[in-house]
Amino acid sequence: MKQRILSGIQPSGALHLGNYIGAIRQWKDLQDSSDAFFCIVDYHAITVPQDPQDLYDNIHQLAAMYVAIGLDPNKVTLFKQSDVSAHTELAWILNCFSHMGELERMTQYKDKKAKHKQRSTVGLFTYPVLMAADILLYQPHLVPVGEDQKQHVELTRNIAERFNQRYGETFRIPDVLHPKQGARIMSLDDPTKKMSKSATTERGYISLIDPPDVVMKKVKRAVTDSGDEVKAVADKPALTNLLTIYTAVTAKSIGEIEQLYVGQGYGRFKKELAEAIIEFLRPIQEKYNELIDHPAELQKILEAGKEKASTVAQITLDDVKTKLGVI
């Protein structure tokens, strides 16, 4: 039996290199050897205010990007969270097995609550429980995500264990999977913050649809560390981040890249890093532009995904409801 994997991304803006390096790169590597489910988690996106047209566009752009980046809809199940009502149904049930204290400890909730002070919602607070439902419905062995999602997967495991203890074996307890390098890509303008699509300025992230001149400008403006040595060491967080990006978009190791720039300073390094990113993005953007002009094709992929995901999710939900005594 192939290992089952499940992961998802919010359609809250254009994907960036952090999303690719931290999450999607692993999905691509695993798609042949696993039974993979990849979700567009649109109900997560509405935990903060969204313009309806933007959200609609972002959902379709994310579907196009999943395929453009190399996920094959004939091998993996690509679907939209809101198309499978079992997610919200199980989320309600799991809310009744989650403690206020454990949700209050979630660092992403604390960060986003601070960002949306006046408009912080109950949905934002219980979002990790919806994520637990997203995962547990599919009984995955592995959840490949960036490091920022580790705490949410741990919560998922705790909720699942709590339910299993009370009602008997129901959910598989999934393991989190982070990439060896690049589990947390940092912002280009502040290497103490993670690269994020909802950042206040676009300078901090490279979107997968940024045109070449924008990529060049952002990399050239990226913050560097004092000195002029191109090295991935603890006291050079900005350079370590740039080298992690460089190695992810080329076939070169960090050691090989460091060797290329001994005694060269930052100028040539940054220019060639930008060129490597542009080359890496070129085929992805070509495919993306082709797909985005064919919404009916994307709709067909999501319809097929909905059918397959609904069937698998319903089996778990029915088992849970039977154990609860509601059916």
For the question of residue 112 being annotated catalytic, the response is yes
Sheet containing strand 3-9, edge to edge, reads 77-80, 34-40, 3-9, 142-144, 175-177
Q: Which of 18, 73, 140, 305 binds ligand AQP (CB under 6 A)?
A: 18
The nearest distance, CB 23 to ligand AQP, in angstroms, is 4
Q: Is residue 128 a contact residue for ligand AQP (CB under 6 A)?
A: no
Pairing of strands 34-40, 77-80: parallel
Q: Alpha-carbon distance 198 to 21, whole Å?
A: 17
Q: What does the H/E/C string look like for 163-178?
A: HHHHHCCCCCCCEEEC
H or E, element range at 192 = none
Q: Is residue 243 a contact residue for ligand AQP (CB under 6 A)?
A: no
CA 254-62-311 angle, 5° bins: 110
Q: Which of 80, 87, 157, 194 binds ligand AQP (CB under 6 A)?
A: 194
Q: Is residue 149 a contact residue for ligand AQP (CB under 6 A)?
A: yes
Q: Which of 145, 216, 278, 320 binds ligand AQP (CB under 6 A)?
A: 145
The stretch near ligand AQP (CB under 6 A) out of 11-19, 217-225, 245-253, 314-322 is 11-19
Q: Is residue 140 a contact residue for ligand AQP (CB under 6 A)?
A: no
159: CB partners within 8 A, 6+ apart: 94, 97, 98, 129, 132, 136
Q: Alpha-carbon distance 132 to 233, whole Å?
A: 36
Q: Is residue 19 a contact residue for ligand AQP (CB under 6 A)?
A: yes
Q: Which of 128, 140, 146, 305 binds ligand AQP (CB under 6 A)?
A: 146
Half-sphere exposure of 326 (CA within 13 A, CB side): 9
For the question of residue 113 being annotated catalytic, the response is no
The nearest distance, CB 185 to ligand AQP, in angstroms, is 4
320: CB partners within 8 A, 6+ apart: 90, 93, 163, 167, 170
Q: Alpha-carbon distance 223 to 83, whole Å?
A: 42
The nearest distance, CB 121 to ligand AQP, in angstroms, is 15
Q: Is residue 184 a contact residue for ligand AQP (CB under 6 A)?
A: yes
Q: Which of residues 183 and 209 has its CB atom nearest to ligand AQP in the complex?
A: 183
Q: What are phi and psi of 158, to 5 degrees?
A: -65, -45
Q: Which of residues 23 and 291 has its CB atom nearest to ligand AQP in the complex?
A: 23
Q: Is residue 201 a contact residue for ligand AQP (CB under 6 A)?
A: no
Residues involved in catalysis: 112, 194, 197
Footprint of ligand AQP (CB under 6 A):
9-10, 12-13, 18-19, 21-23, 145-146, 148-149, 183-185, 194-198
